[in-house]
Structure 1
Amino acid sequence: MRRQAEQDAATPGPVTADDLDRAVQLALAALRDAPPEAWDANAGTLEWDCWETVEHLADDLFAYAAQLGPRKPPLDDEVPFVWESRRPGGPSNAIHANRSAGPAGLLQVLEASGALLIAMVRTTPETVRAYHGFGISDPEGFAAMGVVETLVHTYDLADGLGLGKGPDSAWSPPADVCARVLHRLFPDVPSGHEPWPTLLWATGRGELPGHDRRASWRWYGEPRG
């Protein structure tokens, strides 16, 4: 019984559409507090401004939904949308928000893109597989990727938008959601640390006691057997 309890504690459970929905809604709530004049500032250490970073996040969520969309999802490449950058050095996106709609419109684009992925994860059979550059994945994997993108880019945005950084940040996502995406996508990370700092370390954004800061990183999208 004790061994089973230890195994259960080490396996936080699958990442679900509800986890993604929760992450997106929490991100939206945090970002709505940003002052309108702050959106042209860089998002944390990224080379993109905060507006572009939200477009990039919305584009990620849209693209993951699109990968699961065809009756026979591609296993060797991405669905061939045209991704374009609006300026040299900016993110290459298929999704761009209308600037005249302001920050409220930008966040609506983010919410709509998140809703597409949430719906696809809810309705796609768990046996379906689709291509991603970090490993052919299943609906749970794409949900986990969407959660990671949402959590870490909202961290970048909170810094750039003046919502605080580190322990003073307005952005501190739920530990249980962080634990589930770490288990699903980052089997190589060290154990024994709090989930959110570990996720920041895993994505090259933070420090972890006893471990060098990551200069490069990736996740592993393949289903874990």
Structure 2
Amino acid sequence: MTADDLAEGVRLVVTLVRRPAALTADWDRPAGDLEWSCWDTAEHLADDLFAYAAQLGPQTPPPAGDVPFVLRRHAPGKPLSVVFADREAGPEGMAQVLEACGALHVAMVRTAPPGARAYHGLGTADPEGSAAMGLVELFVHARDLALGIGLDWEAPGEICARVLARLFPAAPTGTDPWATLLWATGRGELPGRDRLTRWRWYSAPADERDVP
């Protein structure tokens, strides 16, 4: 995974949000199968990208926790976030927030040395792992948003295949990469396999993982 892969993922999702049908949609509708609204989901995605960038920032990162930003909820049931978009700026404003947070993550992946590490509860990541995590967030939440807004959207198979190889080493191969990524994140089905009700990724480099 590279910073260029991540930049392409950001571009694709921002382009989705800027489609005319998205800019005029009801963003209070649920995002796909999530309980969050489309607005909450997009805000959560921006916050993830910001957080992944921030975790790569410190020269001595926290060994067992996140950089201690204050997290807040707008209301019960809303996601915990550092980043919030101004609702009065509408979907175009949300697109700008996503683009800005994505650019921060891309810049950190591009400039961090290979030995940099970023804490995550599912495995302390190197820059490549951080990029892959950002792409999972971008792609699956873009799918959630597209379903909520009523649009078709599909992530590029080549990048999905590399994300799966980096973060989901036990995922099947020889299947459609986009469908497999949706299956691996509990959002879809694959022939002959049960839909996942619990899932995780492995963000630590392969030689630093306990399993698998």
Q: Decide: shared fold, TM above 0.5.
A: yes
Aligned to 2:187: 205
CA RMSD of the aligned region, Å? 0.9
1:20 aligns with 2:2: no
Q: How many residues align?
A: 205
Identity, % of aligned pairs?
60
1:125 aligns with 2:107: no
Contact kept in structure 1, 2:3 and 2:109, CA below 8 Å? yes
Q: TM-score, normalised by structure 2?
A: 0.95
Q: 1:223 aligns with which of 190, 194, 205?
A: 205
CA deviation vs aligned residue, 1:8-27 (integer Å, no higher than 9, x gap): xxxxxxx1111111011011
1:46 aligns with 2:34: yes
Rg (Cα) greater in structure: 1
1:73 aligns with 2:55: no
CA distance in 1, matches of 2:83, 2:16: 22
CA distance in 1, matches of 2:105, 2:200: 21
Contact kept in structure 1, 2:28 and 2:38, CA below 8 Å? yes
Contact kept in structure 2, 1:43 and 1:49, CA below 8 Å? yes
CA distance in 1, matches of 2:186, 2:119: 24
SS at match of 1:64: helix
Q: Please, which runs of 5 or more residues in structure 1 have no aligned partner?
A: 1-14, 164-168
Q: TM-score, normalised by structure 1?
A: 0.89
Aligned to 1:10: none
Runs of 4+ in 1 over 6 A off after TM superposition: none
CA distance in 2, matches of 1:128, 1:29: 31
1:190 aligns with 2:172: yes
CA distance in 1, matches of 2:148, 2:47: 19
Q: Please, which runs of 5 or more residues in structure 2 have no aligned partner?
A: 208-212
Q: 2:134 aligns with which of 133, 146, 166?
A: 146
CA deviation vs aligned residue, 1:119-141 (integer Å, no higher than 9, x gap): 00000001111210001110100
SS at match of 2:131: helix
